[in-house]
Amino acid sequence: MPQLHTLGELVASPAWRVRRSVKDEMRANLIARLGSGAPLFPGIVGYDDTVVPQVVNAILSKHNFILLGLRGQAKTRMLRALTSLLDTEIPVMPGCEIHDDPRAPICAACRARIVTEGKDTPIAWLARDRRYVEKLATPDVTIADMIGDLDPIKAARAGLELGDELTMHYGLIPRANRGIFAINELPDLAGKVQVGLFNILQEGDVQIKGYPVRLPLDIMLVFSANPEDYTARGKIITPLKDRIGSEIRTHYPASRRDGMDITEQEALIARADSALTVDVPLFVREVVEEVAFQARGDQRVDKRSGVSQRLPITCLENTVSNAERRALKCGEASIVPRVTDIYAALPSLTGKIELEYEGELRGAETVARDLVRVAIATVFDGHAAVADLKPVIEWFEDGGTLQLADDAPAEEVLEQVKAVNGLERALGMMGLAPKKDAPYRASALDFVLEGLASLKKISRTDEGRFQAPATERKPRNPDRERALEQLMDDEGVPTGGKKKKYYN
């Protein structure tokens, strides 16, 4: 469509003859996209059968809505993706702070300009990405920030009365006119500011400083919040909840596969500035993702705070970085992370989990190590079902030991594990190392050994020494033994002429 430059051209154009509100515009574009089968929100993973249908229903109903969920559940990304349902561009009055429609302006300055210039009034075009305004709610946000205020300096310079509409300084919401305005963490707004949103949600207008100035805004309001705060006992006022059309619950990935897709999409894996290639084995990705799933179910981790999807993202990035450090040090041509590299990524885990009292007693690093160990055991148990690992375990039980440093080169790892009976055969049965390059095979062998250690089939020291599991027999307590024997003698319990030994 050729670009239009004046109000007269705009009014004469059949394509722009009918005016549509923002919600009508989004509804029409959504209907067209549903009919074409095109993806609604590219980049949003795991919500196809849960959150997305509810968002679609809210838009079709022309509702203002709120996304409720814990941190790291893609709430903000979902809100920002709404701009794809806006028109590519719309006509606006040039220089207008509230993006007035030239066909029906609502601000006094634009109305006066059209009266003066008529059909020759120039128009501008506003792209869809500039029609989204976002504000993080904090307790210090004021009504003036959100709605607007009187500007006495503007009044003095123009020689206007203080209550004149032309003296208004518009806040964030009027500046989002004809677009989408998003408020993140809505309950953190002060109560009086929440009250200031009533008119916008119900009547679609704002009033500034009590003067009889009414701005009938064309706007879609969307919000996000934590469910713990969005309650009658929390920091949200009930009348505001009542005015929000739809309340939509978000969630963490329901499956490990969904989580892995999100992590792969968001994590910095490829190293464009490096000559080394990066190859992350599937089992390493599985373990990294399982750490997040284990953390979300662990009693030592605060469920109300949640475990963000950023945890596996940063964990995988650190895991790859540790493998990169080893590859550079050892002169290897490729970066292939090992399961043991996840332990080097603990700094990316400890800051992502909020602990309950029991977890605080143990310490964040200890809890993180436990989560990694359980994640390794869970993932390995699924792979080990098809392999015969008995010869490997027996080799260690017969006194075999294996010392592997975390930064050992791949060739050194492969040379050392040759002595372990049945390890290579088990690796082939599990199909973990179809590739023949040394770094990948070393990673697969490391996974088998770490998996057996996590399942307590063998033991592993902090120095990387694999050996038979330590016996669980408790040490003798001679004093307790003598006391028990004396008690039996005093009570006449027969011992068969032979003293019995008791262990605590």
Per-residue confidence (pLDDT) for residue 498, from 0 to 100: 42
- Final residue before a domain boundary, out of 221, 249, 277: 249
DSSP structural state of residue 63: -
Q: Are residues 498 and 480 in the same domain?
A: yes
Q: Are residues 56 and 88 in the same domain?
A: yes
Q: Are residues 275 and 147 in the same domain?
A: no
Q: What is the DSSP string of 417-436?
A: HTTSTTHHHHHHHHT---S-
Q: Are residues 433 and 351 in the same domain?
A: yes
Q: Are residues 160 and 270 in the same domain?
A: no
In 259-408, where do the E strands start and end? 277-278, 334-335, 402-403
Tokens of 117: 């210039």
Q: Are residues 237 and 267 in the same domain?
A: no
SS3 assignment, position 353: coil
- For tokens 């029409």, name the residue: 28
Point out which residues pair with 124 in neighbouring strands.
92
Nearest-5° Cα angle at 179, 140 to 15: 170
In 391-496, where do the E strands start and end? 402-403, 459-460, 465-467
Q: Are residues 290 and 238 in the same domain?
A: no
**H/E/C letters for each residue in 123-185?**
CEEEEHHHCEEEEECCCCCCHHHHCEEECHHHHHHHCCCCCCHHHEEECHHHHCCCEEEEEEC
Per-residue confidence (pLDDT) for residue 210, from 0 to 100: 62
Per-residue confidence (pLDDT) for residue 60, from 0 to 100: 97
> How does 190-199 read in b/e, with b if 16+ C-beta sit within 10 Å?
beebbebbeb
Per-residue confidence (pLDDT) for residue 163, from 0 to 100: 60
Give the other-Cβ count within 10 Å of 386's Cβ: 10
Domain assignment of residue 133, yes or no: yes
Domain assignment of residue 18, yes or no: yes
Domain count, the chain: 3
- For tokens 């009033």, name the residue: 207
Local mean pLDDT, 10-residue blocks, the chain (504 residues): 82 88 95 92 92 97 95 93 95 92 89 91 94 92 84 66 68 92 92 86 74 81 90 78 93 94 92 88 95 94 90 96 94 93 93 90 92 95 88 90 89 90 87 80 93 91 83 52 60 48 36
* 8 A C-beta contact, residue 290 and residue 379: yes
Per-residue confidence (pLDDT) for residue 304, from 0 to 100: 86
- Final residue before a domain boundary, out of 249, 279, 298: 249
Spatial CA neighbour of 135 closest among 95, 200, 182:
182
Which residues span the domain enclosing 423?
256-467
Q: Are residues 493 and 383 in the same domain?
A: no
The CA distances from residue 273 to 270, 277, 278, 279, in Å, are 9, 11, 12, 16
Domain assignment of residue 310, yes or no: yes
Q: Are residues 46 and 77 in the same domain?
A: yes
* 8 A C-beta contact, residue 288 and residue 317: no
How far is 90 from 88, CA to CA, in rounded Å?
7
Longest Cα–Cα distance in the chain: 121
- Final residue before a domain boundary, out of 216, 249, 282: 249
How far is 78 from 58, CA to CA, in rounded Å?
13
How far is 342 from 348, CA to CA, in rounded Å?
10
How far is 163 from 161, CA to CA, in rounded Å?
5
Q: Are residues 55 and 17 in the same domain?
A: yes
Domain assignment of residue 238, yes or no: yes
Domain assignment of residue 102, yes or no: yes
**Amino acid letter for position 146:** M
- Phi/psi for 454 (5° steps) reads -70, -35
Spatial CA neighbour of 274 closest among 224, 233, 324, 309:
324
Per-residue confidence (pLDDT) for residue 491, from 0 to 100: 57
Q: Are residues 236 and 202 in the same domain?
A: yes
Domain assignment of residue 83, yes or no: yes
* Burial zone of 71 (CB within 10 Å; 0-12 exposed, 13-18 middle, 19+ buried): middle
Tokens of 503: 């262990």
Assign residue 140 the CATH number of its domain: 3.40.50.300
Per-residue confidence (pLDDT) for residue 472, from 0 to 100: 42
Domain assignment of residue 1, yes or no: no
In 226-265, where do the E strands start and end? 246-249
Q: Are residues 222 and 269 in the same domain?
A: no
Domain assignment of residue 2, yes or no: no
